[in-house]
């Protein structure tokens, strides 16, 4: 069986990918994937992974798969949890994003011997990610939260490199969270284990746009695409990009960041580093990178 594990990251799609796929009953039948309810698999995974120890429980993988697939048929199991790689309070350490990523990915892979495991992960600009993770956490002081971080050295490419070194046998698909509105249909298909282009209709192809566009703008976009259906993904992206430029909800696209020590200079520096980091990642031959 295919085991697709969506690793997060924190504060990216916020479960919208799996929620959208789960609602698409036709696509679920056609593609043959199963998405267990979070309340069903997350406690089981925490138990099997023994978060306080390094060794798997004897027979944990067999019992876990059996528990997840009880009464369910399918060729692909999709597991998604933004906390797979870390809790919010331990997501950043010194110069590292997700310092335990390699170890945790290896544990996840080892839970499913004999199955085809793959990882999927959205990354996000640290300039907006770090404040968002802080606000979603139970931490009370932002200065304490970022104390000890070498902001100039934070790089997703280091995290990805550590995962690839530990799990070179596991396919890894990446994308930038900032690109979600433009690559959403392809991301849904990739998560479902389908070719990026195909005849299957996606019921949730506008799910991400519903979050970030004005209702009037989204209605106009739907009408435009219905009357002028694009023949290629790149044409659809151009249309979506044009409509976003006119009808995006600015509060959703660019939320205001109001944290001490996190001014325009810090944001600009981190954003510049992020762009260079993404450029490095797109040249790696051992990952699949979804981009507009």
Residue-level pLDDT at 59: 52
Confidence of residue 84 (pLDDT cuts 50, 70, 90): very high
Confidence of residue 10 (pLDDT cuts 50, 70, 90): very high
Rounded to an integer, the average pLDDT of 139-150 is: 96
Residue-level pLDDT at 53: 45
Residue-level pLDDT at 129: 98
pLDDT in tens, 23-68: 999 888 889 999 988 887 887 777 666 544 444 444 555 667 677 7
Residue-level pLDDT at 52: 45
- Who wins on pLDDT, 198 or 81? 81
Residue-level pLDDT at 248: 95
Write the Ramachandran bin of 148: left for phi over 0, alpha for psi from -120 to 50, otherwise beta. Answer: left
Rounded to an integer, the average pLDDT of 247-274 is: 92
Rounded to an integer, the average pLDDT of 258-282 is: 97
The mean of the pLDDT values for the chain is 91
**2-203+260-290 is a CATH 3.40.50 domain:** yes
pTM, to two decimals: 0.93
Question: In this model, does residue 74 exceed pLDDT 50?
Answer: yes
High-pLDDT (> 90) share of the chain, %: 75
Residue-level pLDDT at 43: 78
- Who wins on pLDDT, 193 or 37? 193
């Amino acid at each position: 069986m295919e085991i697709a594990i969506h690793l997060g990251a924190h504060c990216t799609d916020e479960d919208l990918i799996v929620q959208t796929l789960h609602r698409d009953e036709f696509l679920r039948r056609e593609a043959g994937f199963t998405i267990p309810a979070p309340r069903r698999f997350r406690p089981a995974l925490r138990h099997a992974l023994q978060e306080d120890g390094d060794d798997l429980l004897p027979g944990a993988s067999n019992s876990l798969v059996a528990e997840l697939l009880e009464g369910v048929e399918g060729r692909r199991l999709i597991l998604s949890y933004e906390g797979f790689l870390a809790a919010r309070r331990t997501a950043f350490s010194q110069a590292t994003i997700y310092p335990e990523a390699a170890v945790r990915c290896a544990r996840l892979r080892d839970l499913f011997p004999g199955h085809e495991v793959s990882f999927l992960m959205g990354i996000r600009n640290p300039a907006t990610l770090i404040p968002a993770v802080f606000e979603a956490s139970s931490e009370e002081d932002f200065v304490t939260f970022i104390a000890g971080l070498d902001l100039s050295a934070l790089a997703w490419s280091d995290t990805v490199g550590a995962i690839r070194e530990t799990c070179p046998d596991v396919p890894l698909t990446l994308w930038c969270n900032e690109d979600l509105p433009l690559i959403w249909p392809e991301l849904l298909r990739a998560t479902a284990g389908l070719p990026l282009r195909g005849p299957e209709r996606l019921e949730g192809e506008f799910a991400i746009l519903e979050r970030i566009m004005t209702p009037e703008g989204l209605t106009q976009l739907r009408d435009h695409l219905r009357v002028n259906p694009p023949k290629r993904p790149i044409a659809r992206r151009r249309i979506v990009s044009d409509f976003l430029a006119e009808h995006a909800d600015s509060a959703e696209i660019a939320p205001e960041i109001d944290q001490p020590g996190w001014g325009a200079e810090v944001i600009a520096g981190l954003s510049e580093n992020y762009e260079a980091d993404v450029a490095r990642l797109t040249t790696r031959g051992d990952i699949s990178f979804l981009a507009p």
